[in-house]
Structure 1
Amino acid sequence: MFRHYQLVIFRDHHGAYRKLRFRGWLFALMLLALAAVVAGDVYLVKYYYNYKRMERELAEWEARGQDQNAQLVSLSDKVKALETDLARIRGFDAKLRRMVNLDQEPRDVSPGGEEKDFDKKYLPLYRQEMLGRKLHQFLGELRDQTALELARQQELATLVETADVRLTALPTSWPVAGWIAAPFGERVSPFTGKKEFHKGMDIAAPVGTEVKAPGEGTVAFAGETDDGGFTVVIDHQGGLSASFGHMRDVLVTKGQTVAKGQIIGHVGDSGQASGPHLHYETRLYGVPVNPMRYILE
Structure 2
Amino acid sequence: MSKRYLSFFVLTNDATRSRQYKIGVGRLKAFGTLGVLFSLVLTFVVIDYVRLRGDVSELAGLRTENTEQRIELQSFTTKIKSMETQIVKLNAFDRKLRIIANIEEPNRIGSGVAMKGVGGGSSAGAENFLMTPAGKVDQLVDQMRSEMNVLQAQADSQESSFTELQGQLMSQTSLLASTPSVWPVRGWVTSTFGQRISPFTGLPHQHKGLDIANRHGSTVKAPADGIVVKVARERILGKTITIKHGYGTKTIYGHLSKTLVRVGQKVKRGQKIAATGSTGRSTGPHLHYAVKVNGVMVNPSKYILN
**TM-score normalised by the chain length of structure 2:** 0.81
1:207 Cα deviation from its structure 2 partner = 3.1
Q: Does 1:11 align with 2:14?
A: no
Instruction: Kindly provide the amino acid, as one letter, of the partner of residue 184 in structure 1.
Output: F
Give the structure 2 partner of residue 72 of structure 1.
73
- More deviation, 222-231/148-157: 222-231
Residue correspondence of structure 1 range 1-297 to structure 2 within 5 A: 6-12=5-11, 14=15, 17-22=20-25, 30-102=31-103, 104=105, 112-113=113-114, 115=116, 117-118=120-121, 121-123=124-126, 124=128, 126-127=132-133, 128-163=137-172, 166-225=175-234, 229-297=238-306
What is the distance in 2 between the residues matched to 1:21 and 1:205? Answer: 109
What is the distance in 2 between the residues matched to 1:254 and 1:89? Answer: 38
Alpha carbons of 1:4 and 1:118: their partners in 2 closer, same or farther (altered >3 Å)? farther
Instruction: Kindly provide the amino acid, as one letter, of the partner of residue 243 in structure 1.
Output: I
Instruction: Kindly provide the amino acid, as one letter, of the partner of residue 46 in structure 2.
Output: V
What is the distance in 1 between the residues matched to 2:22 and 2:205? Answer: 124
Assess if the C-alpha contact under 8 Å between 1:92 and 1:296 holds in 2: yes
Residue 236 of structure 1 aligns to a residue in which SS?
strand
1:237 Cα deviation from its structure 2 partner = 2.1
Assess if the C-alpha contact under 8 Å between 1:176 and 1:203 holds in 2: yes
Instruction: Kindly provide the amino acid, as one letter, of the partner of residue 68 in structure 2.
Output: D
1:191 Cα deviation from its structure 2 partner = 4.8
* Percent identity over paired residues: 30
1:30 Cα deviation from its structure 2 partner = 4.9
Instruction: Kindly provide the amino acid, as one letter, of the partner of residue 51 in structure 1.
Output: L
1:242 Cα deviation from its structure 2 partner = 0.9
Deviations 1:68-107 (A, max 9, x none): 2332232233223222222221221122122222353898
Q: Which runs of 5+ in 2 are unaligned?
A: none
Instruction: Kindly provide the amino acid, as one letter, of the partner of residue 10 in structure 1.
Output: F
Alpha carbons of 1:194 and 1:53: their partners in 2 closer, same or farther (altered >3 Å)? closer
What is the distance in 1 between the residues matched to 2:82 and 2:183? Answer: 26
Q: Which runs of 4+ in 1 moved over 6 A?
A: 105-111
- Paired positions, count: 294
What is the distance in 1 between the residues matched to 2:288 and 2:174? Answer: 26
Q: Which runs of 5+ in 1 are unaligned?
A: none
Assess if the C-alpha contact under 8 Å between 2:175 and 2:247 holds in 1: no
Assess if the C-alpha contact under 8 Å between 2:84 and 2:115 holds in 1: no
Alpha carbons of 1:78 and 1:258: their partners in 2 closer, same or farther (altered >3 Å)? same
What is the distance in 2 between the residues matched to 1:76 and 1:275? Answer: 46
RMSD value over aligned CA atoms? 3.3
- More deviation, 279-288/75-84: 75-84
Deviations 1:10-50 (A, max 9, x none): 32375764443445xx6665554333222112111101211
1:131 Cα deviation from its structure 2 partner = 2.3
What is the distance in 1 between the residues matched to 2:48 and 2:124? Answer: 45
Alpha carbons of 1:35 and 1:205: their partners in 2 closer, same or farther (altered >3 Å)? closer
Deviations 1:113-144 (A, max 9, x none): 36484556433251323222222222222222
Instruction: Kindly provide the amino acid, as one letter, of the partner of residue 8 in structure 1.
Output: S
**TM-score normalised by the chain length of structure 1:** 0.83
- More deviation, 69-78/285-294: 69-78
Assess if the C-alpha contact under 8 Å between 1:282 and 1:290 holds in 2: yes
Deviations 1:256-285 (A, max 9, x none): 221222111122333444543322111111
Alpha carbons of 1:229 and 1:21: their partners in 2 closer, same or farther (altered >3 Å)? closer
